[in-house]
A = this chain, B = another copy of it.
């Protein structure tokens, strides 16, 4: 590794976001369709669940991600005009079917190679999710990557969802590193912004070639895949 590289020295710890950053939500589209919801409604459902979680974070509440996911899905089902036929599953069964899809998502194709390359470079790897630790654990176990991660963390123990500063401070404390020794890697600009304001280094994982919102603090690094991230600090 080259300490004089324009992207800076390698971090001591990479703090990965989990949902959408490591996990691929694409199969949820089929899960939605299987219960009569439009595949396109995955996006507003997920955005609305984060909106409501952040609203509660603004007023000092630290809700369980899964509770918001289930309830917002149930409300969407009830409002969609999808009426379960007599004898078929009811809305609660449909919600559980989609949630079961959510807890069995795969990782993105670049994750295994990227994570192994970062591990080989001697960088400590951890996760910090607004969801539950068990979802991250299952995801990484299915991908055969559980051994590569030193610690899986959830904001459930931090007292506040990301992007509240307490969430990042909690992760740094658990890892025993200063903010400048850690880099937060995420697909979500709001997570990059929050981590940057908390003093962490930041890497925006932009798999889709999207644009970064000008109203958020810019990331230190932008990469198209975790493989690219793993090579960012090479000479």
Contacts and interface: CB of A to CB of B under 8 A. Distances in A.
Interface in A121-174: 160-161, 163-165
Interface residues on A, range: 35 or more
B75 A213 contact: yes
Nearest to A214: B71
Contact of A51 (B51, B63, B67): B51
Interface core residue of A51, A189, A208 (most chain B CB under 10 Å): A51
Main secondary structure of the interface of A (DSSP, over half): helix
A59 B211 contact: no
Contacts of A197: 59
Contacts of A193: 55-56, 59
B213 A58 contact: no
Interface string A24-58: 00000000000000101001100110111011111
Interface of A: 38, 40, 43-44, 47-48, 50-52, 54-59, 63, 67-68, 71-72, 74-75, 78-79, 160-161, 163-165, 189-190, 193-194, 197, 208-211, 213-216
